[in-house]
């Protein structure tokens, strides 16, 4: 393995693990210590404004509706999500964030924005373009290689 491949491998693995640890620590030490990283990502997938169907959110998270149902039940008990039946088709279950869920969403969104600002701080426009292009290529590889839906 060439030196640059070895370094890139190490950096990607470290970055992935570090981001997960930082997110978990931020949740545990913050106002939302009752949330796991998976739960905050579920809140993120539901989104701030529009109610979504269970199947829409499950697809976005690449999980089954059954798996999502379990997660949503926990988030409802914790007061972050509300569930209701669609008026015109009672078979469709819609989910949306409560006031508490929207606050968690906003704080998590700020965490990500701060992380991105710190990442690009001090980079030239050209370096920023190179970083963006490189990460887009990596993302396209993952989507294609592992059949991820985007």
Say what the pTM is.
Answer: 0.84
3-state secondary structure (DSSP) of residue 34:
coil
Would you say residue 106 lies in a domain?
A: yes
The parts of the chain modelled with pLDDT lower than 50 are none
Burial-class residue 97 by CB neighbours within 10 Å (0-12, 13-18, 19+).
Answer: buried
Annotate 85-110 with three-state secondary structure.
ECCCCCCCEEEEECHHHHHHHHHHHH
CATH number at 88 reads 1.10.10.10
pLDDT at 149: 65
pLDDT at 40: 95
pLDDT at 1: 63
The Cα–Cα gap between 113 and 108 comes to: 9
Would you say residue 25 lies in a domain?
A: yes
Q: How many domains does the chain have?
A: 1
Task: Find the domain containing 128 and state its range.
Answer: 3-145
């Amino acid at each position: 393995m060439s030196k640059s491949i070895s370094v890139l491998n190490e950096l990607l693995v470290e970055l992935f693990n570090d981001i997960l640890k930082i997110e978990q620590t931020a949740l545990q030490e913050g106002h939302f210590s009752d949330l796991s990283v998976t739960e905050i990502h579920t809140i993120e997938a539901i989104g701030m404004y529009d109610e979504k169907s269970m199947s829409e959110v499950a697809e976005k998270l690449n999980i089954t509706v059954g798996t999502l149902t379990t997660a949503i039940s926990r988030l409802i008990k914790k007061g972050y999500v509300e569930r209701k039946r669609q008026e015109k088709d009672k078979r469709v279950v819609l989910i949306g964030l409560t006031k508490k869920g929207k606050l968690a969403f906003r704080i998590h969104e700020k965490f990500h924005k701060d992380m991105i600002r710190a990442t690009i701080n001090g980079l030239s426009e050209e370096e920023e373009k190179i970083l963006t292009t490189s990460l887009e290529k990596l993302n396209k590889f993952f989507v294609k290689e592992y059949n991820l839906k985007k």
